């Protein structure tokens, strides 16, 4: 019996860290050159990818996007949504709101200048430490910049459950970027994905391939990640049983979570980009497969599922 095709519209966000610097444990190609990167951006935008995600910490990414946006304005008079991020604010904890706000606004204007934009579609805290630091002044600062019309939506890029709870409690965020993948299901089992949805905070899932770890054959694992072998082999076994590639199983697991608003994917090549875009036509995973993945992978060790703990 054929499975029903997913009726849920796939909303992809193109992450551009790979276009600005070499990134990811499975990246054997390196950073594409400027012409290749512009071609990737153009193909993505012409094929329903309407949001691009960047950050000052992504090497040459912001500048590259700025060139692309200028070309796009000249050609089609239409541009994608752009999200970028505020680098960690490290001024002294006792600094005045004006001192912090000046620092935040300076970073924002530097990004706007590189991107050749007057207003940002989305601005996110890049380091969740700033959710807790400076007595909330960093949060108040980006909220003020939104109020002043320099930003349309604000959010935070978060790693921990504590960070997610802080985003909800702050009451001013429009969106959040969080790691969700087959190995990292903490937000699913804790109920925090549901909480974010209830508070109408848009959820952008990143790290669906866990920086490429989920795509590596277990015999190619680096020494410090050998412990991941049994989990990778299990994932490939389930993919084989269901006659789908492992990358498709990993992607569709996140895509088919009802709370997810968009998936942030990166790529180094046009082939990778096309694979991700083509996921729109892939059938939904059967409910028993979703439940199987949730059960079998809910206790993956933290030192495997959290890249900050990779040595």
Is 192 within the bounds of a domain? yes
Lowest mean pLDDT among 29-38, 166-175, 239-248: 29-38
Is 298 within the bounds of a domain? no
Is 51 within the bounds of a domain? yes
d(CA 101, CA 227): 44
Q: What is the pTM of this model?
A: 0.92
Is 308 within the bounds of a domain? no
Q: Are 10 and 255 in contact (CB under 8 A)?
A: yes
CA-based max dimension of the chain: 64
Is 2 within the bounds of a domain? no
Q: What CATH number is associated with residue 126? A: 3.20.20.100
Question: Quick one: average pLDDT of 114-129?
Answer: 96
Mean pLDDT of the chain: 91
The confidence band for 252, taking pLDDT boundaries of 50, 70 and 90, is very high
**Whole-number pLDDT of residue 47:** 92
Q: What is the CB-side half-sphere exposure of residue 273 using CA atoms within 13 A?
A: 26
Is 46 within the bounds of a domain? yes
The confidence band for 29, taking pLDDT boundaries of 50, 70 and 90, is low
How many structural domains comprise the chain?
Answer: 1
Strand-pairing partners, residue 183, are none
Can you say whether the dihedral through the CA atoms of 2, 262, 30, 160 is positive or negative? negative
Is 180 within the bounds of a domain? yes
Is 7 within the bounds of a domain? no
**Whole-number pLDDT of residue 6:** 43
Whether the per-residue pLDDT at 307 is higher than 70: the answer is yes
d(CA 106, CA 92): 17
CA angle 21, 133, 259 (to 5 degrees): 65
**Which of 216-220, 227-231, 268-272 has the highest average model confidence (pLDDT)?**
227-231
Whole domain around residue 46: which residue ranges?
Answer: 12-211+262-283
Q: What is the CB-side half-sphere exposure of residue 38 using CA atoms within 13 A?
A: 12
57-82 confidence digits (pLDDT tens):
998 899 999 999 988 877 766 789 99
Whether the per-residue pLDDT at 20 is higher than 50: the answer is yes
Query: Chain-centre distance of CA 193, in angstroms?
Result: 15
């Amino acid at each position: 019996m054929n499975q029903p095709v997913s009726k849920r519209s796939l909303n992809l966000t193109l992450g551009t860290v790979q276009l600005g610097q070499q990134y990811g444990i499975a990246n054997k190609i390196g950073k594409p050159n400027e012409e290749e990167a512009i071609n990737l951006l153009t193909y993505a935008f012409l094929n329903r990818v309407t949001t691009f995600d960047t950050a000052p910490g992504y090497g040459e990414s912001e500048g590259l996007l700025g060139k692309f946006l200028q070309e796009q304005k000249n050609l089609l008079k239409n541009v994608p949504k752009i999200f970028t991020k505020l680098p960690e604010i490290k001024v002294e904890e006792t600094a005045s709101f004006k001192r912090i706000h000046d620092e935040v606004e300076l970073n924002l204007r530097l990004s706007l200048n590189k991107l050749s934009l007057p207003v940002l579609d989305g601005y996110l805290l890049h380091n969740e430490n700033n959710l807790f630091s400076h007595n909330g002044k960093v949060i108040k600062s980006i909220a003020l910049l939104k109020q002043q019309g320099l930003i349309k939506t604000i959010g935070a890029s978060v790693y921990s459950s504590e960070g997610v709870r802080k985003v909800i409690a702050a009451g001013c965020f429009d969106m959040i970027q969080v790691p969700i993948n087959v190995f990292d299901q903490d937000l699913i089992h804790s109920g925090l994905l549901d909480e974010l949805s209830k508070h109408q905070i848009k959820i952008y899932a990143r790290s669906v391939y866990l920086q490429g770890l989920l795509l590596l054959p277990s015999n190619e694992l680096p020494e410090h990640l050998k412990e991941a072998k049994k989990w990778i082999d299990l994932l490939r076994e389930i993919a084989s049983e269901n006659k789908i590639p492992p990358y498709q199983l990993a992607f569709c697991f996140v895509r088919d979570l009802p709370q997810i608003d968009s998936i942030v994917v990166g790529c180094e090549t046009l082939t990778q980009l096309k694979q991700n875009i083509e996921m729109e036509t892939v059938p939904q995973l059967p409910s028993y497969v979703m439940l199987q993945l949730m059960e079998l992978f809910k206790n993956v060790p933290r030192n495997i599922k959290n890249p900050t703990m990779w040595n």
